[in-house]
Structure 1
């Protein structure tokens, strides 16, 4: 095996060394000798870099997914050799860095394998059917050379025929792609297999959709609806920065999620959900969300998010602006495109209110802190997360909504949040070529609106209640809570049922269960002497027969021991929120509401 690798080193070096210029260059070749065992083989050639040693590194995270994932844990069998095929010593000097004793050799070839068998939009997955490669989890970089270009040659497994990636194809070299630097390489996922690829043109951009895993999708409908979304999103910013864009869609039995990239995205979907209208519109919302990111995050961004440090966390308090605003605009785009009617759109907004206001963590964690702590909290939820944290997606979307409504009202419908984003894109990305400071973004909003929005930026840093109706009323709508004034009992737990056992999966802060000592993973056996049924329905029936202040005798099993807990039922503090037209709205309010929701 080692002899074979040495010969490959000589061959690869001989071919490339005759064509490369003197400037340092980096080239990769990926192949799949054992895809059924979930491996990709990687060759990295470093040319014209004469140093005593070369440090090669693997990122610990991937942009857009704010968690240190330690990709280097999947690297195996690393070897290095020079142009003669002589093996060069390698020493691992920290968790994601290998030092190669290159001894001023002008050509160094590194061979290694990467294991990948995790289903997500941000991790490698390789099997006998296809390979999805997250570049940050696949490619090494030379320390200090992130700004250097790279070529990647993909050699598919013999049973595969298609490569889908946002990387630029190299003319005259089939299977070879070019990245201007490693930021571009790490931002360009690669799908290799037999995916169904179809295209459409929209906003002057060539779009490819690569469908992986089959599904009951309608090609023509997806192309038509994709065109509508792309052109509506482009109209906000006035320009589409790409010539080509790739949607890589992984279709599973049950799937979801997405990750944005500079000229591509990876989406997860349910393969048989396309014929269900609700599921299909949800998928269009995911498309809209990730596509909107090509402006808002990938180009217009907080100053902390680029250039990236791939070795550690890149902290920002502004994810509520980046992900939250995008979460606001994804549904708004669906409304403007006609995929959501007025009622469905308002319900989608109300769902965000319910999610935020009925989460105990909303009273503990400001959304700016949720942004900053994404690295340790958002992607690492546990049984207590609902009590300690809030989503910068949902709450950020609601703050975006209120900013949009405030701008609409202050300018009599002449300006809105769209105008802010367009100006910000031009000002920071196009002209200044840098990210923005949060105070600069607020100042820009105030410039467009002509009024202060300090109270809404202040709200991102506190847990004070949001006054939704202050903003909704201005455009002829109001938020109503159908639980207001009702005295409903609340035990304060969520449960799951398996093998006839009802087990506690969550305990809400400030409820009877919280105060009474019920724990996650407790098995609820009986309440007030009544044994629960095998399907867990008896629990709901019992709660409907008691009142706030009643004491329940809860028989539980915890770690194999039987206990009885006395739990006093508290009042259910959760709201049942909806957004409805405001009674007796003025003509001006109605007019602004029509502008907001693109109504005739």
Structure 2
């Protein structure tokens, strides 16, 4: 009662002295305490001198002492991620950080670097400001860049974090260079505040790249979801056609799962001389392509394949995912055996989506399938490394190829794309055409992303695939995925009335197996194929081939050895490290294949029906 009486008195007095106030402040009683203010993190990103390739970051932390144990420890640790999700390599982003300082108000406080990517700030204060610069001069979808023309932010390489604050809402204030007018990002804008954005947590911030400059923008709606495309670089394109074709690709992709999880979606497209691929994010993607991407129909279709690939990732990887792919450990490798599914089957879907959207004819799609098989079967590493091993070793091998990689590795993209085709066929055959790979994607999406809100294990994926196929898939998993043994392709294609035919001539020139680069009229060996004549008889990477059988090679090795047959021995004169030596090399049979898919003779009605379902032929 005393508490209520005192509160009534305070309210009466406060109202008396503030008659025009629309709200009243209620003070706590003597035995009550004010709730602690919530911690907050705001990043202010600026680029006042873009020609120097530096971003400047101010990280404002407020009300953090309790959450970070700063009062207990007397310090807090601030970290920079060492990699970015979707690109499986430790990239050491901290190497680009300069001038790290910390202050409380106007007072600079002590800090030191304690690990390659971590700084310790000695404070027990509630409010703290961190400032640093990031050198950004590598324009890829995995790194950051700024120059006088534009800025691009890969958030993992620009924004730091504290472990205890990773799951709180964050705010980003972008201060564009003085002549820049536009910012593109999937982050949610803060109403009434220019270039101010918010994210639910650090994971979402990392998953939301930012383009800053004077890029061109167009929009379209697909599956009732607004989409924005921001285009950097001087390039000619038909905006109406491009928007329509984006829409066709996006809507065809959405039919796989049948539900679109985004409120909006952003494409950031860089048109730069070398191109460069793409990187997926939760509600956006960044694409890098050449400036002539729209100049020919072939280039245009390749670009649409890139669009389909990265867009389909908003389901496969960002939501349908192995357990290792989220939540992320930003300081260490995140291992999985299933990048063949996450990346490779997305490569499968990119062309399958274009087929169902009408960009590929059935024959064109079959050509792509056969070419994919030809690619992996012509790589010696396909008999050394399994798709599961390729996925696991992405961190040390996939992004670090050398002259021997083709002999020992297989790409989880290319092998996974072929496996996606085979799994799709296995499900079609096992269900008598009632189900296909789409049904597996829907099952994984609904069960693990929506219901259990987590990724799946290797075994859970296999169980789901076998459930949808209606049968065991031992050959697919035990041979196709987990070993490097030869795959019986015809067992997968026979149910749809097709067979794989090798068109490579059996009467060919002998095979040397040494690839060369040409410079200053000289042929230098750049790679040697496992099991070839060059490999067996000792030609080495780095050897300059001077002559063959006393005939000067110059820059045309192929002309000199053309017409020589298997079993013939060549006398190859090489310069190796400044020493000239002659090496006898006996040519082997050409091992290269060239596959085409052809109809089986006397196809049954069931095979024809299944073929039509496979290729969406009505």
TM-score normalised by the chain length of structure 2: 0.92
- Alpha-carbon shift at residue 277 of structure 1 (Å): 0.7
Matched, 1:57 2:75: no
Matched, 1:403 2:423: yes
Partner of 2:538: 517
- Alpha-carbon shift at residue 208 of structure 1 (Å): 0.6
Partner of 2:98: 76
- Is this contact kept in 1: 2:553–2:560, CA < 8 A? no
Larger Rg over CA atoms? 2
* The one of 331, 336, 353 aligned to 1:316: 336
User: 1: distance between equivalents of 2:356 and 2:156?
Assistant: 36
Partner of 1:350: 370
Matched, 1:45 2:45: no
User: 1: distance between equivalents of 2:299 and 2:543?
Assistant: 34
User: 2: distance between equivalents of 1:159 and 1:558?
Assistant: 55
- Alpha-carbon shift at residue 495 of structure 1 (Å): 1.3
Partner of 1:293: 313
- Is this contact kept in 1: 2:292–2:299, CA < 8 A? no
User: 1: distance between equivalents of 2:233 and 2:455?
Assistant: 38
User: 2: distance between equivalents of 1:543 and 1:415?
Assistant: 52
Partner of 1:562: 580
SS in structure 1 of the partner of residue 61 of structure 2: strand
* The one of 462, 469, 472 aligned to 2:493: 472
Partner of 1:571: 589
Matched, 1:161 2:176: no
- Alpha-carbon shift at residue 144 of structure 1 (Å): 2.7
* C-alpha distance after superposition, 1:509-532 (max 9, x if no partner): 111101121111221121111112
- Alpha-carbon shift at residue 583 of structure 1 (Å): 2.5
User: 1: distance between equivalents of 2:300 and 2:463?
Assistant: 38
Matches within 5 A, 1:127-526: 127-459=147-479, 460-483=481-504, 485-486=506-507, 488-526=509-547
User: 2: distance between equivalents of 1:549 and 1:159?
Assistant: 68
- Alpha-carbon shift at residue 484 of structure 1 (Å): 6.4
SS in structure 2 of the partner of residue 211 of structure 1: strand
- Is this contact kept in 2: 1:118–1:124, CA < 8 A? yes
Partner of 2:47: 32
Instruction: Please identify, of 162-171 and 558-567, the stretch whose mean Cα deviation from structure 2 is larger.
Output: 558-567
- Alpha-carbon shift at residue 429 of structure 1 (Å): 0.1
Instruction: Please identify, of 544-553 and 60-69, the stretch whose mean Cα deviation from structure 2 is larger.
Output: 544-553
User: 2: distance between equivalents of 1:49 and 1:458?
Assistant: 51
Partner of 1:15: none
- Relative distance call for 1:457 and 1:484 in structure 2 (3 A) is farther
- Is this contact kept in 2: 1:233–1:333, CA < 8 A? yes
- Is this contact kept in 2: 1:299–1:429, CA < 8 A? yes
Matched, 1:121 2:141: yes
- Is this contact kept in 2: 1:204–1:243, CA < 8 A? no
* C-alpha distance after superposition, 1:315-337 (max 9, x if no partner): 00011111111111100011111
- Is this contact kept in 2: 1:288–1:333, CA < 8 A? yes
- Is this contact kept in 1: 2:80–2:94, CA < 8 A? yes
TM-score normalised by the chain length of structure 1: 0.94
- Relative distance call for 1:585 and 1:27 in structure 2 (3 A) is same
- Is this contact kept in 1: 2:509–2:563, CA < 8 A? no
SS in structure 2 of the partner of residue 99 of structure 1: strand
- Is this contact kept in 2: 1:153–1:175, CA < 8 A? yes
User: 2: distance between equivalents of 1:95 and 1:143?
Assistant: 16
* C-alpha distance after superposition, 1:581-600 (max 9, x if no partner): 22321121111111111123
- Alpha-carbon shift at residue 543 of structure 1 (Å): 2.9
Q: Any unmatched runs of 5+ in structure 2?
A: 1-34
Instruction: Please identify, of 504-513 and 439-448, the stretch whose mean Cα deviation from structure 2 is larger.
Output: 439-448
User: 2: distance between equivalents of 1:584 and 1:505?
Assistant: 47
- Alpha-carbon shift at residue 249 of structure 1 (Å): 0.6
* The one of 33, 38, 41 aligned to 1:23: 38
* C-alpha distance after superposition, 1:409-429 (max 9, x if no partner): 122211111111011100000
SS in structure 2 of the partner of residue 490 of structure 1: coil
User: 2: distance between equivalents of 1:564 and 1:351?
Assistant: 38
User: 2: distance between equivalents of 1:367 and 1:299?
Assistant: 22
- Alpha-carbon shift at residue 266 of structure 1 (Å): 0.6
* The one of 541, 553, 560 aligned to 2:571: 553
User: 2: distance between equivalents of 1:151 and 1:473?
Assistant: 56
Instruction: Please identify, of 404-413 and 415-424, the stretch whose mean Cα deviation from structure 2 is larger.
Output: 404-413
Cα RMSD (Å) of the superposition?
1.3
SS in structure 1 of the partner of residue 534 of structure 2: helix
- Alpha-carbon shift at residue 488 of structure 1 (Å): 4.0
User: 2: distance between equivalents of 1:371 and 1:285?
Assistant: 22
Instruction: Please identify, of 311-320 and 333-342, the stretch whose mean Cα deviation from structure 2 is larger.
Output: 333-342
Instruction: Please identify, of 576-585 and 20-29, the stretch whose mean Cα deviation from structure 2 is larger.
Output: 20-29
Instruction: Please identify, of 204-213 and 336-345, the stretch whose mean Cα deviation from structure 2 is larger.
Output: 336-345
SS in structure 1 of the partner of residue 250 of structure 2: helix
Partner of 2:89: 67
User: 1: distance between equivalents of 2:36 and 2:441?
Assistant: 42
